Structure 1
Amino acid sequence: MTVEVLIETARKIVGKYQLSNADFSAGTVGAALLTSKGNVYTGINIEVACGIGFCAEHSAIAEMLKNRETQIEMIVAANADTIIPPCGRCRELLFQVDNKNIHTKVYLSTEHYMTLDELLPNRWEPSI
């Protein structure tokens, strides 16, 4: 799978999803990830009060986990116009789901990616 197809997959699910409050939103960001087994999982963001929403990457990772996979080859988040780099919380989640994800290609544009290792140099690791 090419990164262009992965980006297009993320953008296909972007949209305005109606929530109960006009100040809340969902689906303004879509994420798509490719696993080491070649499967693609997607997710959308949810923005609601009190910080209880979550990023599109979290949603895609949850879908992946439901299918008993943990290793991610590449991931991208996007809205209709822009590739969106993962926040620190998303970066930590990628690593903590499976330490092998340190080699995941995280796309920052259609032409440029960085590995999770490059984006998360001082990651949390449990003390032994």
Structure 2
Amino acid sequence: MTEHDDLIEIARTSINPHRVGGRLFGDVASALETTTGAIHVGVCIDTGSGTGFCAEHAAVASMVTSGEYAIARIVAVWRDDDERLTVLPPCGRCREFIRQIDPSNIDATIVLGQGRTAPLRTLLPEWAWPEPEPPRRRDTP
């Protein structure tokens, strides 16, 4: 048993596939633990119009809804037709999304598989952007 098996199992039990036409919902699930120890889960939604979202987005939305923003660790999983479970790394959009929710999330642990993890900063190189300058005040005549 590895350190993050508990989170992987929580995500696995959240998988709930549902097909509508050619679209599959809920076949990827994510579980995250906040820095306070709260657990949040979410599933992916695939839509034909491109308005869907990844499982990590849904788990983060649950976290934010509860008033938390800092992630200690996060995982996403997918189960194939033969019931094999695969841990999935977050896509680039999810990596950036997680980073922007709270500055501390750059150090969140991303579970990459059985016994494999990485801090978000490792998976999102060159993430730092300069702070925007405040708007200049126009002098009125």
SS of residue in 2 equivalent to 1:47: coil
Does residue 31 of structure 1 match 2:35?
no
Measured in 2, the distance between the counterparts of 1:29 and 1:108 equals 14
Does residue 48 of structure 1 match 2:52?
no
Q: How many Å apart are 1:49 and its aligned residue?
A: 0.6
Equivalent residue for 2:63? 64
Residues 92 and 124 in structure 1, CA contact (< 8 A), matched pair in contact too? no
SS of residue in 2 equivalent to 1:75: strand
CA RMSD, 1 decimal: 1.2
Residues 36 and 73 in structure 1, CA contact (< 8 A), matched pair in contact too? yes
Equivalent residue for 1:120? 124
Q: What do the CA deviations read for 1:74-128 (whole angstroms, capped 9, x no partner)? A: 0000012100000000000111000101110001102100100000012263533
Runs of 4+ in 1 over 3 A off after TM superposition: none
Letter in 1 for 2:49: C
Taking only the aligned residue pairs, the percentage that are identical comes to 38
Equivalent residue for 2:6? 5
Measured in 1, the distance between the counterparts of 2:101 and 2:130 equals 13
Consecutive unaligned residues of structure 2, counting only runs of 5 or more, are 80-84, 133-141
Consecutive unaligned residues of structure 1, counting only runs of 5 or more, are none
Q: What do the CA deviations read for 1:32-82 (whole angstroms, capped 9, x no partner)? A: 000001000000001111211100000000000000000000000001210
SS of residue in 1 equivalent to 2:106: helix
- Structure possessing the higher radius of gyration over alpha carbons: 2
Equivalent residue for 1:15? 16
Residues 17 and 27 in structure 1, CA contact (< 8 A), matched pair in contact too? yes
Larger helix share, 1 or 2: 1
SS of residue in 2 equivalent to 1:94: helix
Measured in 2, the distance between the counterparts of 1:60 and 1:75 equals 9
